[in-house]
Structure 1
Amino acid sequence: MQLTLTGHHVEVTDSLKAYVKEKFSRLDRHFDQVLDSHVILTVERLRQKAEASIHVSGSTIFADAVSEDMYASIDAMVDKLDRQVVKHKEKMTNHHRNHNEGSHRHQAAMLDETTTLS
């Protein structure tokens, strides 16, 4: 996964970069089809804001979080992203599962018709 990190009114230090990379590795555990990510860290007086958009197969997922501590904002943002990624993954697997079940039902119905006709 390609990770782009940008800071507005804040210097993105090596420790912040390492922290964000460590937290984003959790997303790779749940869903390995994350193509790229863009994280923006912003400081406005007492507000520390972290926002991210990630591109996965078929859609873009966005999350943001605001708190008084940048690390807490990053944690909350990654938690939101993680929930959305898991939901997206479940939606994708359920869609494929339902599609396959429909074809199996159709094949079973066709088999029943041929056995009753014989």
Structure 2
Amino acid sequence: MNIEITARHFDLTPQLKENIERELNGLTRYFENIISADVILDVEKYRQSAEIKVKVYNQSITGKADSNDMYASIEMAVDKVKTQLKKYKGKLKEKHPDKIEEKVERITRPKTNVDEVDQ
């Protein structure tokens, strides 16, 4: 997943960057095929906001949050994106149940055409 982070009106610290990357990599538990994520962090007086845009297939999912703490804003925005990813994955399962079961069957099906070798 490509992650692009933009910080407005403040300098991005390495700890904040690591936190964002860890949180966004955790989203792959809910949806495996995330193409990219754009994170925009903004500071205006006492308000610190985080906006996360995640691209999956032909869908763009956005989560925004504001608070007095940047880490809290990021966590709230990630939670919003997580909720939307779960909802989107559920819709995909409803529309295409055969494809998902076929993929699961392909992964779990044992290989039966293995030749035994006598020694």
Shorter-chain TM band: 0.7 to 0.9
Deviations 1:39-67 (A, max 9, x none): 00000000000001111012100110000
Tell me which structure has the larger Cα radius of gyration: 1
Percent of matched pairs sharing the same residue = 36
More helix by share: 1
Give ranges in structure 2 of 5+ residues lacking alignment.
Answer: 101-119
Gaps of 5+ in 1: 101-118
Hey, what does 1:12 align to over in structure 2? 12
Tell me how many residue pairs correspond in the alignment: 100
Cα 1:99/1:26, change in 2 over 3 Å: closer
- Secondary structure of the residue that 1:5 maps to in structure 2? strand
What secondary structure, in the 3-state scheme, does the structure 2 residue paired with 1:42 have?
strand
- Once the two structures are superposed, what CA deviation does each residue of 1:69-91 show, in whole Å capped at 9, x if it has no partner? 00000000000000001111111
For the aligned residues, what is the CA RMSD?
1.6
Deviation at residue 99 of structure 1 after TM alignment? 8.9
Question: Residue 105 of structure 2 aligns with which residue?
Answer: none
**Which one-letter code corresponds to 2:65 in the other structure?**
A
Match of 1:105 in 2: none
- TM-score, length-normalised on structure 2? 0.80
- Say whether 1:46 aligns with 2:46: yes
